[in-house]
Amino acid sequence: MFFPLSKALAFGCSPATWAMLLLALAAALFAGRRLRAAVITAASAFLVALAFSTPVVAGELERWAESSAKDTFRRDGGYDTIVIVGGGSADDPRVDGAGAALLAGLSENVLYSGRISRRTVDRLVARFRGWGLDDRRFVIEARSRNTRENAQESARIVAERGWRRVAIVTSAAHVERALGCYRAVGLDPDVLVVDRRAPAEQGVPPDLWPSREALRRSRQVMHELAGRLVYRAMGYTR
């Protein structure tokens, strides 16, 4: 039940969705001859779309979402496993981050958790073997559909393997929700933070030119922030 709800949440958290709903309301008001209210509502739809498609707004949202991400990964190693929390691609920065740690000898094993295609599984296997890992040193859990299920499946595998010292690797914006989910299932992993997307503050004039890419970035952040609230309300994070 939670999975379709999470997809509905993703749709509802999109600024583009808000703008379309406002335009639909404006059309209804116009049809009802409430012209002043219709104009104000249509203007609001335009302003919402404009604001969230502006790179400076997207960047500030990313900075806010990533501000709570603390990297606690120990560079002296000794981890039984590193858990890659989702990502969806064999070339994701989360996979790259885990690979760098494994090549440096900081972990004995690696666990990938997240729903992926058969083709992506094959590519992950090739990458893991390319790092010098034999098949006993990596696990690919490709069933979990969201962060809560990532944590549940990871906890099951960690217990089965008898692993004790665990680290997770995920994107900066995702750290707060992911860590809360893993703690809720009884794990207390260190965190390797990757993929910080907020632009560096360089004292240059802000980019105010709207773009589809900025709108996409804003939507991703709003989805993450809404996800944190929902997960807390449902008791999925600790």
133: CATH:
3.40.50.620
- Same domain for 117 and 157, yes or no, is yes
Number of domains in the chain: 2
What is d(CA 110, CA 92) in angstroms, rounded to the nearest whole number?
15
Residue 202 domain-assigned? Answer: no
The pLDDT of residue 204 is 60
The whole domain housing 96 covers 79-194
The pLDDT of residue 3 is 54
Confidence of residue 208 (pLDDT cuts 50, 70, 90): confident
| 171 pLDDT above the threshold of 60 | yes
Residue 205 domain-assigned? Answer: no
- Same domain for 102 and 189, yes or no, is yes
| 28 pLDDT above the threshold of 90 | yes
Q: Which residues of 22-56 are buried (b: 16+ CB within 10 A; e: fewer)?
A: bbebbeebeeeeeeeebeebbebbeebbebbbbbe
- Same domain for 131 and 225, yes or no, is no
Mean pLDDT of the 83-90 span: 90
What is d(CA 232, CA 23) in angstroms, rounded to the nearest whole number?
32
Residue 200 domain-assigned? Answer: no
- Same domain for 190 and 89, yes or no, is yes
Instruction: Provide the mean pLDDT of the chain.
Output: 91
The pLDDT of residue 151 is 97
- Same domain for 120 and 225, yes or no, is no
- Same domain for 31 and 130, yes or no, is no
- Same domain for 173 and 218, yes or no, is no
| 156 pLDDT above the threshold of 90 | yes
Q: Where does 134-182 show beta strands of DSSP type E? A: 138-141, 166-171
The pLDDT of residue 184 is 97
Mean pLDDT of the 15-34 span: 91
What pTM does this model have? 0.86
Which residue's structure tokens are 């089965």? 160
- Same domain for 85 and 189, yes or no, is yes
Mean pLDDT of the 13-24 span: 88
**Residue 46, amino acid:** F
The pLDDT of residue 68 is 93
| 219 pLDDT above the threshold of 80 | yes
Contacts of 52 (CB under 8 A, 6+ apart): 15, 58, 214, 215, 218, 219, 222
- Same domain for 143 and 163, yes or no, is yes
Decide which of 88 and 98 is more confident. Answer: 98
Look at residues 95, 60, 16 and name the one whose alpha carbon lies nearest to residue 221.
60
Tokens of 164: 């004790």
Residue 215 domain-assigned? Answer: yes
**Cβ contact 56:206 at 8 Å:** yes
- Same domain for 48 and 130, yes or no, is no
At 89 the three-state DSSP class reads coil
Confidence of residue 123 (pLDDT cuts 50, 70, 90): very high
- Same domain for 137 and 114, yes or no, is yes
- Same domain for 221 and 179, yes or no, is no
The pLDDT of residue 87 is 80
